Chains A and B, each alone.
Chain A
């Protein structure tokens, strides 16, 4: 058995962890395919003057999805199946050779063969390049794709046209001020004077609406995108900074080590939330990206110390001496030989890191320091707290969503740690 198989086997022994992994994938899929579940743009319609399938053009329309994060996930809706297909193709046997096929088909087969030869890492890399280049192209071009903003539910209702909407006919951030703060499952009014939205126009608010008339369930779905993006991006940056600095400190030692440790110490000594708040005070307009950057800037010392400790331990091992005796450059010894051997605890720490970042992000949004334009779970909680007489459902929705994601990630991290720990193997 290889090391990977042992670890995977240990991980599978924890049933709750496997379920949490499934739940995490489900959250990821829900976030990715949110527009299929909840959007106020129909898949198809015969409304005169509107495109026949407005849903597809809405995906990369800045009027419907102003955030780049949404464009990323909308693109992922299309590219994720491609990844899955490629992934499983890599596991099947070699394609039949010798049959005469037309040129385009043989070109595709050649590409597939090339990908298969490199195994799953190459497939993942190729897919990543494809996805990112498409994403960047869309980002640069989508300003010209703006179409007029249409309130499709109303238009379709008034023209008595036929249309196929996603099951939840709401937009995450379109403010309809005449419908404010309704209770779960009620299309009715809550505040005196507010008219009830007719169910034909905006059907039931399954989890109620917030004070601006947004559907809470829709916001939860799209908020998952924000939380996951911030969590994964911030931790990824932390990993890069932490592993690099930790490797440098642990391998070079001496003055470099002392200086880096001092900086890490200085960052760690200031309470995390204080430090993040203070850095946010410099930011003039907080956006998702500044939040990611600020969280990443303060989160690396933990990973750095971990990597440094592993380096100090492994620096004197025989395989490192052997690598050096081969005359390899320091950089190669560090990043090609030692770093892969230190990654196991780093990944565990990164998993817990994602949960921590999600918590911090929701706290920032709760305190009102986040991006006001992004539908964040912390923001839902905040609105519920501010309207604590009538908005109880918001507290439950936002709070439970954060709790669920953090719990799921923590359980996965816990199981991963135990699976990697040889002492606990049984």
Chain B
């Protein structure tokens, strides 16, 4: 038994690992990598308001989307690559998508490329001859030749069969160098300053506070360069170079640094590290930690699903027994037919019907929310009554489907058992029919229905989505639904992992319960 428990617990690890891997894949496959605010109708709001920018920032920070997926080798970026990306706005005819991509890439590189930018700016400002004849130009022209057909393919007007001749690469003349210099200075202003870490919900830990203090000091230092509109690019470059000289060591990577950076500064590593710290990230629609969001809501979902599970068992077992005892009588036929119909009844339809008739027409039950206003002021008994009143319809909706399933199962099991010899023996002993059925037969037929517990947990938890949406209950199901509509992946992932973990544990407990009630079962 104990070895079985240990083995099952150990098996949970790879299961949860696979589930997290699935989540990682979903986040990385997500279509909107740089989401702006998404309205409730699912349309992208492209006007980048401050709020939208913050949302984007939260999303990217949560999943480290500015890092590469598996291996980070950004220490080995060359000047040539940076030059190519940096000069993207100067390339006429390139599709906007490609330009946007270059811009985003430079954004993602962050502080790593500061030395490259300083070097390129110095070249563009002072030693233009070196730029013109050096390997950088050859590199640029090679990239130009490689990339050109792609641009043309994107831009070719329909019906034109011949490719237009590729334009020549730009001469690295003074105008180009001036442009490059100003682009590099702008980029420095964007990439060099670090950003303070905003902590949503709760106190920030001291190391983050210390980091933020350091960042702010640096920002006051850099503000002199950044906000000065009068000085030209060359003067700014002098100041940047001076700033860079003072902290050059930051960009000198030892072998150990490189290994650590390659492996740890990636989306993959940080995803697992956060999971290991039970950090599920921050929701950009709610501006809160996902963990807090879930904790606020999980009680309602648990009340609903566990309550309906309990209710289903409490009703279905007697119903199944009754149906088996009266097998093939008219009452059994009626019960069976009704249960079969209920089993096929769509949860959505049932929920809507109950809302319409008992909620809106008859006004017997509230149709939204979990508590009345002023719930806090009620006595304990009043609270219970209020909750039960609110929960009645949703729980009925959630229970009906599984109820039919269980009682059919119970009936089938009991009919099998009732034919057994020991039941006949019990009858022959002169026991009353009630004792025979309930004490002897029903107890044994309970065993298969307990196995259902494990299998039905995911179904019940999943069903709570529909119920919570119809009855406007702020539980986990509704949270997940809204997160899917708004593409809030942090919430999606958090709920997914948590629900999976909970059901894994639930299935495990159900299996254990199976072993406890059935002494014939020996787990190895």
Q: Is chain B a partner of chain A in the same complex? A: yes
A274-B496, A366-B348, A410-B344 are known contacts. Are A399 and B353 too (CB-CB below 8 A)? yes
Task: Judge whether A269 and B504 touch: CB under 8 Å.
Answer: yes
A281-B489, A402-B346, A410-B340 are known contacts. Are A384 and B352 too (CB-CB below 8 A)? yes
Q: Which of A155-163, A313-321, A355-363 contacts B (4 or more CB under 8 A)?
A: A355-363
A284 to B31, CA, bound (A): 6
Task: Judge whether A265 and B15 touch: CB under 8 Å.
Answer: yes
Task: Judge whether B30 and A367 touch: CB under 8 Å.
Answer: no
Task: Judge whether A367 and B499 touch: CB under 8 Å.
Answer: no
Complex interface: chain B residues within 8 A of A384 (CB):
352
Q: Beyond the given A262-B18, A268-B458, A363-B347, could you list 13 further A-B residue pairs with CB under 8 A, ordered by the A residue number?
A: A266-B19, A269-B504, A271-B459, A271-B462, A277-B480, A281-B487, A355-B344, A363-B348, A367-B465, A367-B469, A388-B360, A399-B353, A406-B345
Chain A CB within 8 A of B317 CB: no
What interface size band does chain B fall in?
35 or more
Q: Which residues of A50-68 are within 8 A (CB) of B? A: none
CB distance from A307 to the nearest CB of B (A): 18
Task: Judge whether B19 and A273 touch: CB under 8 Å.
Answer: no
Give 9 closest A-B pairs by Cβ, nearest first.
A271-B462, A399-B349, A273-B462, A266-B18, A271-B458, A407-B344, A284-B31, A366-B348, A406-B344
Contact with B along A364-398 (1 / 0, CB 8 A): 00111100000000100100110010001001001
Majority secondary structure, B binding face? helix
Of chain A, the residue at the smallest CB distance from B349 is A399
Task: Judge whether B346 and A359 touch: CB under 8 Å.
Answer: yes
Q: Which residues of B16-70 are within 8 A (CB) of A? A: 18-19, 22-23, 26, 29-31
Chain B CB within 8 A of A411 CB: yes
Of chain A, the residue at the smallest CB distance from B352 is A385
A362 to B26, CA, bound (A): 24
Complex interface: chain A residues within 8 A of B360 (CB):
388
A5 to B114, CA, bound (A): 80
Majority secondary structure, A binding face? helix
A268 to B341, CA, bound (A): 26
CB distance from A286 to the nearest CB of B (A): 10
Task: Judge whether B349 and A277 touch: CB under 8 Å.
Answer: no
Task: Judge whether A269 and B507 touch: CB under 8 Å.
Answer: yes
Of A263, A378, A388, which one neighbours B355 at CB under 8 angstroms?
A388
Chain A CB within 8 A of B110 CB: no
Task: Judge whether B349 and A273 touch: CB under 8 Å.
Answer: no
Task: Judge whether A274 and B348 touch: CB under 8 Å.
Answer: no
Task: Judge whether B15 and A280 touch: CB under 8 Å.
Answer: no
Chain A CB within 8 A of B495 CB: yes
Task: Judge whether B14 and A262 touch: CB under 8 Å.
Answer: yes
A119 to B90, CA, bound (A): 71
Complex A-B: 23 CB contacts under 8 Å: A262-B14, A266-B15, A266-B19, A269-B15, A270-B496, A271-B459, A271-B461, A271-B499, A273-B463, A273-B465, A274-B496, A278-B26, A278-B480, A280-B484, A281-B492, A283-B31, A359-B347, A366-B466, A381-B348, A385-B355, A388-B355, A388-B360, A399-B352
